[in-house]
Amino acid sequence: MPKEKLFRKGDMSREVCFVSSGSLEIYGDEEGKTFLNNVKNDGTSPSIVGDLSFFLIIPQPHMVMASAESDVSLFSLTKYSYTKALEKYPESHQVIVTSLLAEMGLDTNGDDMADKADVGEGGAPGGGGGKKKKQVSWTENIERK
């Protein structure tokens, strides 16, 4: 339905959704004042929402709601279905997590990849390593769940 909230900021996602038709709006706040993005199935941009919370097992970073213009049709992947798929293809989870983190510019430890590309061990350019930020290991969190 138009203006219906799909995900609340801070919630944990039990499903990831793919837009079939219509449009979703992404907001940085729960009140819908900080518009960030529009998600629709137009063939030129990703038409998926809830992926960060679903795959990285973190609180939903944004509020997602249907646009006011029309209804939205979605396909969803539930945790149960995803877990069943992982029984056949267990390696796929790590591929998805690594891809999502790379899109955010992070390595699998949650470190900024730009820091590693610019400063090497001992300050040498291009050598990897360098000064580390606070480490957040998403993969450890995922494996514990």
pTM (two decimals): 0.69
d(CA 12, CA 16): 11
The pLDDT, as a whole number, for residue 43 is 77
Does 99 share its domain with 72? Answer: no
CB-CB neighbours of 140 under 10 Å: 12
Indicate the number of domains in the chain: 2
Tell me, yes or no, whether 13 and 36 share the same domain. Answer: yes
Cα separations (Å) of 52 from 26, 55, 91, 130, 133? Answer: 13, 6, 18, 27, 21
pLDDT digits (tens), the chain, 145 positions: 999 999 999 999 899 999 999 999 999 999 989 999 999 988 777 789 999 899 988 899 999 999 998 889 999 999 999 999 999 999 999 999 988 888 888 877 777 777 665 544 444 334 444 333 333 433 444 444 4
CATH no. for residue 52? 2.60.120.10
Q: What pLDDT is attached to residue 124? A: 38
In a domain, 124, yes or no: yes
- What is the DSSP code (8-state) at residue 112? B
Q: Tell me the residue range of the domain where 120 lies.
A: 89-130
At residue 40, the 3 state secondary structure works out as strand
Look at residue 42 in the predicted model and tell me its pLDDT.
83
What pLDDT is stored for residue 142 in this prediction? Answer: 43
Q: Are 76 and 64 in contact (CB under 8 A)?
A: no
